[in-house]
Structures are given as C-alpha cells and as structure tokens.
Amino acid sequence: MSWILIAMILALLIPIYEACKDENIWQKMLAFASIASKTAMISLFVSVLRDDWMLGAVAVIILSVGNAGLMLLAHVIKRVSQA
Amino acid sequence: MINLVNLVNLANLATVTLSGDFYADIYIYLITALLPLSACLLVVQTNPYHALVIRAVLGAIAALVYAVLGAADVALTEALMGTMLAITLYAVAVHSSMVLRLGVLQTAALIEQEQPPETPVLVKEPRLAALITTLRDLIRKQHLRLELVPYPNRAALQQGLTTQEIHAACAPADVESDAIDCVDPANHSHHNGATSLCQYQIATRLQSLHDILQAELAAVGVDTVVYAVSNLEEQR
C-alpha cells in the first residue's frame, strides 16, 4: 500500500511547484485549494490504512474546514484587489 | 569472544529490522520532508499576500504531518487555529497596514467625494489624477496601496500630517503654501519650470517613504517630494 501513498505524495508535489512558480495570486489560491484537498485525502487514506477512526474524523474535519478558510482568504484578497 | 559475535549478530539483526522498517515507512519520511520544503518556499516570498497563501499551504502540510505521525489532536488544532484563524487575522493585518494614506485638499475643483464617506474619492482635476495614477503604480512595486484622505483646507491637511493620521500630504505647489512649511524656495522655482506633474508637492513624515518616493518619482521625471518631520516626532 506504500506505493499508493508515494504516488499521492508525488501528486501533491505538482500544486506545490505551481504555488512557488506562478506569480498570479489566484493561481496560488488554486494551488492552495488543491493542496488542502490532497493533504486531507492522504490523511483519510492513512486513517483507513491504519484502521484509526480518530485520524479519519480529524481528516474529514480538515477537509471540510479547509474550504471555509479558503473562502475567507479569497474574500479578503478580492477586496484588496478591488481597492 | 562469544559476546563479541553475539554483539555483531545483534547489530546485523538491528540493521535488517531498520532497513525493513525504512522501506515500510518511507511515505512517512517523504511526507515529513514536505514540511521543510514548504517552509523554505514561505521564507523566499516577497509579496505579503503570496506569503499568506504559502503560509496556508504550510499549515495544511503541517496538519498532514501531525496526523500521519499520530497526533490527531495537534493536527486538528493546526488546521483550525494555525491555518484558518491565523491566516484570516494576518490577512486583515496586512490589508490594514500595507497602505499609504495620502491627504489631499477637498476643494470643488480638485476632488469630489459622495456620501457615505466609505465611497472612493473621485479625482476631478486631470493633473492630480495623473499624479495619483503615477503614484499608485509606483508604490504597487512596494506592495503598498494608495488611500486618499480628503481634507477641507491646508491647515487641516497639516494637522493631519502632524497628528499622524496620514503618511503623506499632496497639495498644489504654485499657491503660496502655508500648510507644508518646509518647501524650499529654490526647489519651488525649479518645479514651476518642469513638467505639469510638478505643480503638486508631496510632503511625507516618514524617512523611508521619502526615500522610496524620491527615487521612484525622479526616475519618471517628477521630483516633488518634500520630507516634512512632524512636530510630534520632533518632540521625541
């Protein structure tokens, strides 16, 4: 099962590279959204692998709350770019 | 001698176990290696808003590392407090601090501002509008944004500069300036012969802002920046 996780980590490297390369703030936000979802999915996979439901609950909370933080950040950045 | 052989066998056994664990747990090492990688990315950012987004990425990866290493409660705290709350508070702080408040005279010919006061100030006079557009483009390089603060007369403008309500004041230079009291007469005569943007003078109370504006405005052919030390700073 370890190779599936390694493939997921390699997929996680793609938006990290995008976040450091692209100068547009919205491209960075898209990369952050991708990273937040991918890290939560890796946590979920590890929780299923270890049969650890406490980890699974935390991963689900991170998956849902990460999007709320993203929306707050995007709202602030949108107001800044309008000003 | 027998003890030494046993010791060597034990060491070999430990090496085998270690290498077996290493390949089974290699994903843990890879995930942990992501943390210094994103931290280095965060350190090299220059734009504060880009740094905020990369900080959020760092928080997401840190939560993943904590979860994989078995600290589910720490991961939850990192995701809720460390990422969401800290990023929101930092965004508000950066939004309110990375601003240049420029005081301008609110006369009918220059600008007009509609009610309520939250609406943006409309600049009607074309030379002032050109100067403000130039200024806005220049300080965008420093990741600052420009906020115009209208004042009814020159005395109020000077008062605002003294009481540190604004960082800089912009006023016409061809009128006898009683508000901005450190206009050099030699520079004054020089400005009248220069381009049309030089009809306005900008006074600032911040040394670093003066250096930035002097260098940038001189590069585009406008040098109107006057460094005015406010009375409050002189008292210190």
Each residue's pLDDT, cut to its tens digit, for chain B (236 residues) gives: 556 566 556 555 555 555 667 777 888 898 999 999 999 999 998 888 889 889 999 999 999 999 999 898 999 998 888 888 888 888 888 888 888 888 888 765 556 555 555 556 667 677 777 778 888 888 888 788 888 888 888 888 888 888 888 888 887 765 544 444 434 434 444 444 344 445 677 888 888 888 888 777 777 666 566 666 544 455 44
Question: What confidence score (pLDDT) does residue B190 get?
Answer: 41
CB contact under 8 A, B50 and A68: no
Question: What confidence score (pLDDT) does residue A22 get?
Answer: 80
At B43, which amino acid appears?
A: V
Report the half-sphere exposure of B88 (CA within 13 A, side-chain side): 14
Distance in Å, alpha carbon of B232 to nearest chain A alpha carbon: 30
Dihedral sign from CA coordinates of B71, B73, B77, B79: positive
Q: Is B192 exposed, middle or buried (0-12, 13-18, 19+ CB in 10 A)?
A: exposed
Nearest alpha carbon to residue A70 among A78, A60, A81: A78
**Domain count within chain A:** 1
Distance CA B124, CA B196 (A): 16
Interface residue B83 vs chain A (CB under 8 A):
yes
CB contact under 8 A, A2 and B80: no
Interface residue B86 vs chain A (CB under 8 A):
no
Contacts of A82 in chain B (CB under 8 A): none
Distance in Å, alpha carbon of B49 to nearest chain A alpha carbon: 8
DSSP helix/strand/coil, B169? strand
Question: What confidence score (pLDDT) does residue B129 get?
Answer: 77
Element (H, E) at B97: helix B86-97
Contacts of B21 in chain A (CB under 8 A): none
Question: What confidence score (pLDDT) does residue B115 get?
Answer: 55
**A11-38 tens-digit pLDDT:** 999 999 988 888 888 888 889 989 999 9
Choose the closest CB to B57 out of A32, A72, A77: A32
Contacts of B54 in chain A (CB under 8 A): 19-20, 28
- Which residue intervals of chain B bear CATH 3.40.190? 99-235
**A28-70 tens-digit pLDDT:** 888 998 999 999 999 999 999 899 899 999 999 888 877 777 7
Nearest alpha carbon to residue B67 among A12, A34, A43, A39: A43
Which of B28, B31, B38, B69 would you mutate first to test chain A, the one with the most A CBs within 10 A? Answer: B31
DSSP helix/strand/coil, A7? helix
At B168, which amino acid appears?
A: A
C-alpha distances out from residue B226 to B206, B209, B217, Å: 10, 11, 12
Place of tokens 């600290």: B71
Which of A41, A44, A51, A62 would you mutate first to test chain B, the one with the most B CBs within 10 A? Answer: A62
Q: DSSP letters along A8-38, please?
A: HHHHHHHHHHHHHH---HHHHHHHHHHHHHH
Question: What confidence score (pLDDT) does residue B35 get?
Answer: 93
Choose the closest CB to B41 out of A20, A36, A83: A20
Element (H, E) at A72: helix A53-82
Question: What confidence score (pLDDT) does residue B222 get?
Answer: 63
Question: Is CATH 3.40.190 correct for B99-235?
Answer: yes
What's the DSSP call for residue B187? H
Place of tokens 């220049």: B138
Interface residue B232 vs chain A (CB under 8 A):
no
Contacts of B26 in chain A (CB under 8 A): 2, 6
What is the residue range of A67's domain? 2-82
> Contact B149/B166 with Cβ under 8 angstroms?
yes
CB contact under 8 A, B38 and A16: yes
Question: What confidence score (pLDDT) does residue B22 get?
Answer: 73
Task: Write down how long chain B is.
Answer: 236
Number of A/B CB contacts below 8 angstroms equals 120
Question: What ipTM was assigned to the predicted interfaces of this complex?
Answer: 0.92
Who's near A44: CB < 8 A, 6+ residues apart? Answer: A56, A59, A60, A63
C-alpha distances out from residue B88 to A53, A56, A66, Å: 30, 26, 12
